[in-house]
Structure 1
Amino acid sequence: MSLRLHTLVHACAVVLAAGCLGATLWNGIAERGIALAFGVLVAVGELTRHNGPRVRQTAPLAAAGALAYALLGEAGGRPTHHDAAQIVTVVLAGSLLGSVPHVGRGPGPARDHLARRTLTVGFVAVCFQPLYARGTFDDWGGSAHALLLLALLSLSTLCDAVLAAALAHSRTGWPFPPVLRDELRALPGIGAAVVATGAVMALGVAVVGLWALPLLSVPLLLAQLSYRRYAAVRATYRQTITSLARATEIAGCTPAGHARRVAELSQSVGRDLGLTEPELTVLEYAALMHDIGQLSLVDPVPVGATAALPVPEQRRIALLGGAVVRQTGVDPRVAGIVERQADPHREQPLAARIVRVVNAYDEKSRTGGPGGPLTALEELRLGAGEYAPQVVESLARVLSRETRERDGLTRPGAG
């Protein structure tokens, strides 16, 4: 197998961490009190980490503390003497120490997360510390020094976004440009808070000493708490939509798990076609609720297979479904996608094309026996006038990728 990108990134992070640890053990730790304070701050940030499928920065306080230590040139008005190797070692030690409770409760921090932090902190430290030690920034006082820190932190955040997108592309096969676009879209939110807090921490410690750390950590912790509440509201909202979508299954209109399967596969196809995260959210909701119009039928469709119905009947069910969705208070774009399920594919928005193709695939593969998936895909390809060819080929790529991943996981000796 060829060397994958995430393996190369992990290898670079391991080499950097090993080299920095060796250099730190050889040279000793400078300003142990400062090193301990920042190590504890990073550990606390990891303890308050919030995991989630759509959380870009899981431990913002740890990230801000790590970057602040990398840009620290003075503490309480006195010059510091730690080097880049010590910075990487302290940050990595704090990250691992703060992750221990998470490992005990379940999965700990992903290797991608640790690799990104190691490389990002190493990059900032190498850019700043050697030049600071040589006195390059001695004449950079006041606002000039603050702008320098913000510029370095912004550059490191951009590098981290590129790394995160590259790792996601390597692991999942999703197209790199839209993944990178989603990472960059997230920067003005929690990314900006991390940059601002990191810069203020470095400047605050330089003036008043280590007492600035707990005081400056409070705003970011409050922001993190607010984000958790927002995420909880979003999760509850999604659960409500999922429960509403299951009404067709409970009523016997559609087979069990049909809406969930269509939603999951539609998201994979949407990612393959380059949809952004907000567009994927709308696509997921529309896929979950695409059959809800069947609740308004007097005579249920056999096994809920709407793809085999005449076009006028498909359009009637789609319009009924859109009317129901509009009454739920969900994003109006979701209702629009549901209503246009039976339109000619050239007139449909991309999300509606995706839901239509994936719905037909799930219905056809369910009734086709052992060879159902292949037969269903071939029928979709032959129905080029009814289904969007671009979406069908994307579906084929997604299914092929999932098959390779399953084979890799089930192969003897595969980790």
Structure 2
Amino acid sequence: MAYVVIVAAFAVLVGAFVVRGYGFPDVPALGVFLLLALLHIVLPDAVVETQTRVSLASVVQLAGLPIVGPAGASVVGAVLGVSLGRGLPWNKRLFNAAQFSLAASLGGLVYLWAGGTLLPELLAGPTELVEGLALPLFVADVAQAVVNLVALAAVVRISTGIPMRHQMLLVLRGTGLAYVGYGVIALTMVVLWRPADLGPTAAVIVLAPLVVAQWAYRQHAEELRGQQRALEVLVAAVEAKAPRLAGHSARVAELSGRMAEQLGLSPQQVADTRVAGMLHDVGQTSLPTPLVRALDLTDPAASRDYPARSAAILGDLDFLRGAIDPILRHQEGMSVGSGTSLPARIVGLADAYDLLTQVGDALGRVHAPTRAEALLAERAGNDPAIARALHVALTRPSEPGPRR
């Protein structure tokens, strides 16, 4: 709360500074931008797998800099923060409002410092448009991204202990390129609004396709939630046959995903690796229950062919295509010179670690985390980078909710 209050106070101070210094150059346009900000109450950002994929807020916030100035953008940012925080506790809505307002104010100052104009309709020719609008707007885009990134990473660091550097890299991997796209869309909106003299019609022309894209992403997100529920049913079937594995699949999935992120895999590879960790034991559902309950899962030779059974059960599901190889070969990843893929080795190590620390080895001994790490590090097939990723993943606090 202390951090939220500090950010809010800073946002108010910077907002007051830009209001006093620059005022509101176009009050009617400010009213239109405020309506666009309130539009987020009924059209929230499209979030898929905890990542914001299509954000009208970023476009509106950036396009407002040349049209309503830093002061107007600061007010619009505050309204955007409140509308995006619908349903959240008041302190989180306050933080959202302060974060967006501060990013808009500082972004507006950077825009003017970089040579941007508040009268883009007076720019003549491509050269003036680039120097007086396009380049300053992209510099402001970077500035706003940095402010949002630092503010978010700091609050996550304070509330959960996750290092700021890790959180910033994680967000950049997922949304870094999106900021470039938002900059291009915002520039198009400004050019149509002022130099092309379309006024508020420019917002309709530019934002309408984004609204359609948001709808498509929401449908995709709902499809993913349905798939997740189906996967949870499969995991429940495994745990019903082998009660000792209760929670094992979820833990391996979480640990596999963290390790994949630490090793710099792409977002899709991270998702596939996490799913593979969740479903790596599904093949056990096709084995007799007495055999499953007697299976020594810490010994690949004794585990028979259940990874192949898992791959056979799931092979016809197109949305699991990227997870099939790690599921099929996760045990091979613990062998010397196996040549298995990195996701397979990640899942194999995460599986072995959880078995040693939660289920027990061949003698039924449950090892302490540090001892399990040491045992796995000694295995010949384990390279130092993966062992290091395991250690970092284990020492990292739990992730917060959806990232914006």
TM exceeds 0.5? Answer: yes
SS across alignment from 2:219: helix
How many residues are matched?
380
Alignment correspondent of 1:333: 322
Could you tell me how far 1:279 is from its partner in structure 2?
0.9
Which residue identity does 1:306 align to in structure 2?
Answer: L
Following the alignment from structure 2 to structure 1, what is the Cα–Cα distance between the partners of residues 388 and 115?
53
SS across alignment from 1:34: helix
Following the alignment from structure 2 to structure 1, what is the Cα–Cα distance between the partners of residues 47 and 107?
27
Structure 1, unaligned runs of 5 or more:
1-6, 73-81, 407-415
Matched, 1:218 2:214: no
Could you tell me how far 1:334 is from its partner in structure 2?
1.6
Alignment correspondent of 1:374: 370
Asked if the contact 2:260–2:343 (Cα under 8 Å) also holds between the matched residues in 1, the reply is: yes
For 1:61-105, what per-residue CA distance to the aligned partner results, in whole angstroms no more than 9, with x for missing partners? 222222222122xxxxxxxxx642x1343223322442464336x
Asked if the contact 1:10–1:112 (Cα under 8 Å) also holds between the matched residues in 2, the reply is: no
Which residue identity does 1:199 align to in structure 2?
Answer: L
2:232 to 231, 242, 252: 242
Specify whether residues 276 and 156 from structure 1 end up closer, same or farther in structure 2 by C-alpha distance, changes over 3 A only: farther
Could you tell me how far 1:244 is from its partner in structure 2?
2.2
For 1:388-410, what per-residue CA distance to the aligned partner results, in whole angstroms no more than 9, with x for missing partners? 4432332222222339x99xxxx
TM-score, normalised on structure 1? 0.75
Specify whether residues 117 and 268 from structure 1 end up closer, same or farther in structure 2 by C-alpha distance, changes over 3 A only: farther
Asked if the contact 1:70–1:128 (Cα under 8 Å) also holds between the matched residues in 2, the reply is: no
For 1:294-341, what per-residue CA distance to the aligned partner results, in whole angstroms no more than 9, with x for missing partners? 22323423376512x2x3343622222222221333443322111212
SS across alignment from 1:71: helix
Matched, 1:359 2:362: no
Asked if the contact 2:61–2:76 (Cα under 8 Å) also holds between the matched residues in 1, the reply is: yes
Summarize the alignment of residues 52-131 of structure 1 with structure 2, pairs less than 5 Å apart.
52=47, 54-57=49-52, 60-72=55-67, 83-84=69-70, 86-99=71-84, 101-103=86-88, 108=92, 111=95, 115=99, 118-119=102-103, 122-124=106-108, 126-128=110-112, 131=115
Specify whether residues 254 and 303 from structure 1 end up closer, same or farther in structure 2 by C-alpha distance, changes over 3 A only: farther
Alignment correspondent of 1:321: 310
Matched, 1:49 2:44: yes
Could you tell me how far 1:47 is from its partner in structure 2?
4.8
Alignment correspondent of 2:259: 269
Specify whether residues 179 and 195 from structure 1 end up closer, same or farther in structure 2 by C-alpha distance, changes over 3 A only: closer
Specify whether residues 53 and 351 from structure 1 end up closer, same or farther in structure 2 by C-alpha distance, changes over 3 A only: same
Asked if the contact 1:266–1:287 (Cα under 8 Å) also holds between the matched residues in 2, the reply is: yes
Specify whether residues 195 and 175 from structure 1 end up closer, same or farther in structure 2 by C-alpha distance, changes over 3 A only: closer
Following the alignment from structure 1 to structure 2, what is the Cα–Cα distance between the partners of residues 222 and 52?
14
Could you tell me how far 1:359 is from its partner in structure 2?
1.1
1:18 to 7, 13, 19: 13
Could you tell me how far 1:352 is from its partner in structure 2?
1.3
Which residue identity does 1:127 align to in structure 2?
Answer: Y
Asked if the contact 1:175–1:274 (Cα under 8 Å) also holds between the matched residues in 2, the reply is: no
Alignment correspondent of 1:306: 297
Alignment correspondent of 1:412: none
For 1:173-217, what per-residue CA distance to the aligned partner results, in whole angstroms no more than 9, with x for missing partners? 438667534433545xxx62x334422332333213335434543
Which residue identity does 2:235 align to in structure 1?
Answer: A
Specify whether residues 56 and 285 from structure 1 end up closer, same or farther in structure 2 by C-alpha distance, changes over 3 A only: closer
Asked if the contact 2:81–2:96 (Cα under 8 Å) also holds between the matched residues in 1, the reply is: no
Matched, 1:200 2:188: yes
Following the alignment from structure 1 to structure 2, what is the Cα–Cα distance between the partners of residues 186 and 65?
14
Following the alignment from structure 2 to structure 1, what is the Cα–Cα distance between the partners of residues 186 and 239?
50
Following the alignment from structure 1 to structure 2, what is the Cα–Cα distance between the partners of residues 226 and 341?
34
TM-score, normalised on structure 2? 0.77
Deviates more, 1:391-400 or 1:168-177: 168-177
Following the alignment from structure 2 to structure 1, what is the Cα–Cα distance between the partners of residues 325 and 343?
10
SS across alignment from 1:327: coil
Alignment correspondent of 2:379: 384
Following the alignment from structure 1 to structure 2, what is the Cα–Cα distance between the partners of residues 57 and 110?
20
Following the alignment from structure 2 to structure 1, what is the Cα–Cα distance between the partners of residues 43 and 143?
24
Asked if the contact 1:37–1:210 (Cα under 8 Å) also holds between the matched residues in 2, the reply is: yes
Following the alignment from structure 2 to structure 1, what is the Cα–Cα distance between the partners of residues 132 and 140?
12
Following the alignment from structure 1 to structure 2, what is the Cα–Cα distance between the partners of residues 345 and 237?
35
Following the alignment from structure 2 to structure 1, what is the Cα–Cα distance between the partners of residues 118 and 171?
39
Deviates more, 1:285-294 or 1:336-345: 336-345
Which residue identity does 1:279 align to in structure 2?
Answer: Q
Question: Identity over the aligned pairs, expressed in percent?
Answer: 21
Structure 2, unaligned runs of 5 or more:
none
Following the alignment from structure 2 to structure 1, what is the Cα–Cα distance between the partners of residues 296 and 251?
14
Alignment correspondent of 2:33: 38
Asked if the contact 2:259–2:389 (Cα under 8 Å) also holds between the matched residues in 1, the reply is: yes
Could you tell me how far 1:288 is from its partner in structure 2?
1.0
Following the alignment from structure 2 to structure 1, what is the Cα–Cα distance between the partners of residues 238 and 268?
26
